[in-house]
Structure 1
Amino acid sequence: MKYSELGTSGVMASRVAQGVMRLHEKSADEAREIVKTALDGGINFFDTADCYTAGASSRRLGQALQDLEADRSKIYVQTKFGIYRNPESDQITRYDFSKKHLLEALDSELRNLQTDYVDFVLLHRPDTLVDLDELAEAFNELQSSGKVRHFGVSNVNPMQVEMLQSAVGQKLEVNQLQFGLGHTGMVQQEIHVNMTDAPSVDHDGGLISYSRLRHMTIQAWSPFQFGFFEGVFIDNPKFPELNATLQRIADKYGVTKNAIAVAWILRHPANMQVLLGSMTPSRIEEMMAGTDVRITAQEWYDLYMAAGNDLP
């Protein structure tokens, strides 16, 4: 396993982290085996959110760490808040950065995770109604209480980061964004500069370049998905060229296609962290192996083009 600093936080986190969005689907024994697989492979960073099935996934993670008697001082736990899910309908009805909601959500997550602090907390999606002064008060209280050590954002564009950072005294260290061979928009925009074709459209405000300039770590979520939770591209007949290229490169390095898909993200000099969402221990092991592979620049571009992209 390789490790690198998240933002400028001083935290040396595993290059791949274990996400637990679907951990609630597993029994306590299965959840414990998933977490053990991650820990045994060198993963020291776990990601969850308060809105993942009303905290059920966080509760599974917290119990698994307790059952495994994991050393909390050597593990980094991250959660996200700011999405309000109606408890009766289980539907998301608003984004909410109010102080009351954030403080209550964080306290709930601490109970779910069976811990008295989280290492990182991220604002989950932009709340256009955010009161910046109130947000700053919430962050200050969370930090001074010792409940949160580091802060960040998720699914936020550069101008929104600038606005939020202007109000809060804590550096926003990470931005969690969808990225992978099935979701390459952030790279397409960088390559198709000064053009008028569809890939040239900047949907994100130059997120990769901005993150590098601001020393923010991009955490790549759903790295194996195409579209918005439309499915995985590995072994998917919709992507024959991509899978053939993945297999060719995997054979060269003696790993699997899952490992190469991870290695493709880690090859980018933006120094991203990959969030694994698999709930299958054997696949988690395959994916973790990608941290030990450094593909060549040509292989990176070969995979990019095999995923359906082009070079102008």
Structure 2
Amino acid sequence: MLKTLPLNKRGIPASRIALGCMGLGGGWNREPVTAENVKQGHEAVEAALDIGINFFDHADIYTRGKAEKVFGQIFRERPGLREEIILQSKCGIKLMEPGDRSNVFDFSKEHILNSVDGTLTRLGTEYIDILLLHRPDPLMDPEEVAEALHQLKTAGKVRHFGVSNMSAAQIKLLQVYCDEPFIVNQLHMSLAKISWVDAVISVNREPWKDITFPEGTIEYCRAENIQLQAWGPLAQGIFSGRSLDGQPENIVNTAAMVKTLAEEKNTTPEAIVLSWLMSHPAAIQPVIGTVNPGRITACRDAGKLELSRREWYDLYVSSRGEKLP
């Protein structure tokens, strides 16, 4: 039986699965939003609502703001939808412009406030339910972040706050200065990205060279009732139909195992892959990144499945490509 989401424990009626909206708006360019982009958005939203998803995840940078613009148009064309859903967005990344050497991470007060104002304008809404700080900024001043978040909360522009891609230590530092609790941590987790599990079993062992997941992050989030969200939970389709040409043996074998389990349980490979995450007692909320209505619908059974401990470990060990100690 699935554990209750920490968001639900806080009185936020979030669905067990969220829809990530990075794929809306066309390319990552400055071309205008088209009628076809909006039509695609309507179809993705409708497919999500049909399987019980009421949680939609954005970021100010997704397709250079066009994903949020598409959603804003959907709100205008579908009156009442805004109050039926939970809206999450992120800020803190400045995308590379011509002449720049790289993207820049920016948690300055000015950037956070300006980013949220831009998000609200593009979405055509007065508030967002949850704002995430997108990626850790090495130059972050936590007191400055606290000032920005307090201003956003006081103005009614943001109801709750969270982070993305952060360790327990980074969240703890922010929380010392911020009055508002951080209630979400969105991390890269899937059946293909398993270092969050490897970090658990590597304690007191020589760490494997590719383990970079900060030890204690999952445990801290569970202890503090912080919602763990998984971005990339479908692993870009490598276990649910994407070509496996050039993939290593462990991925090929795991894809075959997923297919077999899906057939045995009369469901889809997508549902098996998500169920593997959702079966974890941390009550992980997958943020599926597809905007293809068919693939969204294929996730329908994920919250109904029950994987046995043996099935869960078999999938993990297969993906890991190495037996447990």
1:22 corresponds to? 23
SS in 1 for 2:63: helix
- Structure 1 match to 2:108: 98
**Structure 2: distance between partners of 1:27 and 1:65:** 14
Alpha-carbon contact 1:19-1:47 (below 8 Å) kept: yes
Query: What secondary structure sits across from 1:77 in the alignment?
Result: strand
Q: Which segment drifts farther, 238-247 or 157-166?
A: 238-247
Instruction: Return 5+ residue gaps in structure 2 as ranges.
Output: 27-35
The alpha carbon displacement at 1:37 in A equals 0.8
Contact 1:123 1:152 in 2 (8 A): yes
Please state how far the C-alpha of 1:303 moved relative to its aligned partner.
0.8
- 1:1-312 matches, within 5 Å, as 4-6=5-7, 9-25=10-26, 27-88=37-98, 92-198=102-208, 201=211, 203-225=213-235, 232-235=238-241, 236-237=243-244, 238=247, 239-307=251-319, 308-312=321-325
Task: Give, in whole Å, the separation in 2 of the partners of 1:33 and 1:200.
Answer: 39
* CA 1:197–1:105: 2 relative to 1, 3 Å: closer
RMSD: 2.1
How far is the alpha carbon of 1:74 from its aligned partner?
2.2
What TM-score, normalized by structure 2, do the two folds share? 0.89
Q: Which moved more, 1:161-170 or 1:205-214?
A: 205-214
Cα distance in 2 between the residues matched to 1:30 and 1:135: 36
Q: Indicate how the Cα distance of structure 1 residues 30 and 200 shifts in structure 2: closer, same or farther if over 3 A, else same.
A: closer
Note if contact 2:8-2:14 (Cα within 8 Å) is conserved in structure 1: no
Tell me how far 1:244 sits from its aligned partner.
1.6
Structure 1 stretches lacking a partner, 5+ long: none
Amino acid at match of 2:323: D
Following TM superposition, by how much is the alpha carbon of 1:31 offset from its aligned partner in structure 2, in angstroms? 1.4
Mapped partners of 2:277, 2:160: distance in 1: 24
Deviating more after overlay: 30-39 vs 117-126: 30-39
Q: Contact 1:259–1:286 (CA<8 Å) still a contact in 2?
A: yes
Q: Specify the SS of the correspondent of 1:274.
A: strand
CA distance, structure 2, for counterparts of residue 5 and residue 91 of structure 1 = 39
Q: Specify the SS of the correspondent of 2:73.
A: helix
Q: How many residues align?
A: 307
Report if the CA contact (8 A) 1:80-1:123 is conserved: yes
Normalised to the residue count of structure 1, the TM-score between the two structures is 0.92
* Other structure's SS at 1:187 match: helix
3-state SS of the aligned residue for 2:223? helix
